[in-house]
Amino acid sequence: MPEKSIEHINFDELNKTAISQPLVSHIYTADPSAHVFNGKIYIYPSHDIDAGEAFDDLGSHFAMEDYHVISMDSVDSKAVDNGLALHVKDVPWAKQQMWAPDANEKNGTYYLFFPAKAHDDIFRIGVATSNSPTGPFKAEPEAIKGSFSIDPAVFKDDDGSYYMYFGGLWGGQLQRWRDGEFNASEPDSPTAFIPEDNEAALLPYVAKMTDNLLEFDEKAKELQILDENGDLLLSGDIDRRFFEAAWLHKHNGKYYFSYSTGDSHFICYAIGDNPYGPFTYTGRILEPVVGWTSHHSVCKVDEKWYLFYHDSSLSKGVTHLRSVKVAEITHNADGTIETLEPYSKI
């Protein structure tokens, strides 16, 4: 992924004006998926490291190897790193690149959902389980059948059904699945196989989970994101189309699908009436942060809604060394969400 220009940024000044500070600073963390379990906040982030991998547009420098779970008694309390929760060496099917995870709970068992490149270099999504929200987690021997690409987010609906949302462009390989199977042909560039600007954009996927949360209960389906005229967003509409970082939350009976626009660096949202959509593009939750990626979750804590997100301010702009943050968000009476500016000035 290309770097945004950071030469003009005075990071000391920027960090003073940021609306929030890193929740932990002894390790780099990113892609925070936050949940409240038993009254406590648990954040399931990527654990960023500098593995010495060369930077490229397919994200090889995001060479993460493990996961740590962060917990907090409240959004204002100290964030605790609960140590190693799962390492790639303990996942039989996975080779490398432990990217953005999520977690959920059912009947006292905690499920960590995570993408990684399998031994054939194709991203798949796996599950690991624990009797504690902080792990350690034990991985299933195989990835979820029918899974592909990256960035799983597992939403529990009010009727007790669980749905996984996933997908990501460029390094996340979604563009290689246009025909329902992995297209391994050349060229190996992030934008090969992306639709033309005037064609419909690639879409994220959703699949209902089986009762044991270990498999898809159905073939994953595309999730439609429509514009104000009811048409699919176009591939060239890079300020609004889906790129990665799927998330779903429910507010006042409406389903909010939020996501990152990747190369235009926004966190956007679209609203629908059921978990499968269609969803209508509505607006932005977060303006661009320092760093190339923007990835988030939306979580209700004590009747207030919060955006968990990341930026690269602590590492002074290093794309793959990010820090998890949290800020309150507001749903307006008309259902829209107020857009957050991550810094009062840069």
| Torsion angles phi and psi, residue 15, rounded to 5 | -65, -25
How far is residue 167's CA from residue 173's CA, in Å, rounded to a whole number?
A: 8
Residue 46 contacts ligand FUB per CB under 6 A: yes
Site string for ligand FUB, 261-300 (x = CB under 6 A): --------------------------------x-x-----
How far is residue 115's CA from residue 124's CA, in Å, rounded to a whole number?
A: 6
Binding residues for ligand FUB restricted to 163-182, rule: CB under 6 A: 168
Nearer to ligand FUB, 30 or 270 (CB): 30
Q: Which of 143, 244, 257, 259 binds ligand FUB (CB under 6 A)?
A: 244
- Number of residues engaging ligand FUB in binding (CB under 6 A): 13
Copy the structure tokens of residue 70: 């962060």
- Tallying the residues shown for the chain, one arrives at 346
Q: Which of 42, 44, 62, 259 binds ligand FUB (CB under 6 A)?
A: 62
How far is residue 249's CA from residue 297's CA, in Å, rounded to a whole number?
A: 9
* Residue of 138, 265, 270 whose CA lies nearest to 206: 270
How far is residue 334's CA from residue 231's CA, in Å, rounded to a whole number?
A: 22
8 Å CB contact between 88 and 95: yes
Q: Could you tell me the smallest distance in angstroms from the CB atom of residue 245 to ligand FUB?
A: 4
Residue 240 contacts ligand FUB per CB under 6 A: no
Q: Which amino acid does the sequence have at 233?
A: L
How far is residue 240's CA from residue 269's CA, in Å, rounded to a whole number?
A: 9
How far is residue 103's CA from residue 155's CA, in Å, rounded to a whole number?
A: 9
Nearer to ligand FUB, 20 or 46 (CB): 46
How far is residue 239's CA from residue 204's CA, in Å, rounded to a whole number?
A: 16
Residue 100 contacts ligand FUB per CB under 6 A: yes
Q: Could you tell me the smallest distance in angstroms from the CB atom of residue 54 to ligand FUB?
A: 16
Residue 137 contacts ligand FUB per CB under 6 A: no
- Residue 109's beta-bridge partner residues? 106
* Residue of 136, 145, 141, 146 whose CA lies nearest to 93: 141
Copy the structure tokens of residue 170: 């460029």
- Return the residue matching tokens 């793959």: 320
Residue 311 contacts ligand FUB per CB under 6 A: no
Q: Which of 23, 30, 34, 112 binds ligand FUB (CB under 6 A)?
A: 30
Nearer to ligand FUB, 240 or 265 (CB): 265
Nearer to ligand FUB, 163 or 259 (CB): 259
Residue 139 contacts ligand FUB per CB under 6 A: no
Q: Which of 126, 151, 282, 314 binds ligand FUB (CB under 6 A)?
A: 151
Residue 99 contacts ligand FUB per CB under 6 A: yes
Give the catalytic positions in this structure. 31, 244
Q: Which of 169, 225, 245, 290 binds ligand FUB (CB under 6 A)?
A: 245
Q: Could you tell me the smallest distance in angstroms from the CB atom of residue 243 to ligand FUB?
A: 8
How far is residue 8's CA from residue 218's CA, in Å, rounded to a whole number?
A: 49
Per CB under 6 A, residues contacting ligand FUB are 30-31, 46, 62, 99-100, 150-151, 168, 244-245, 293, 295
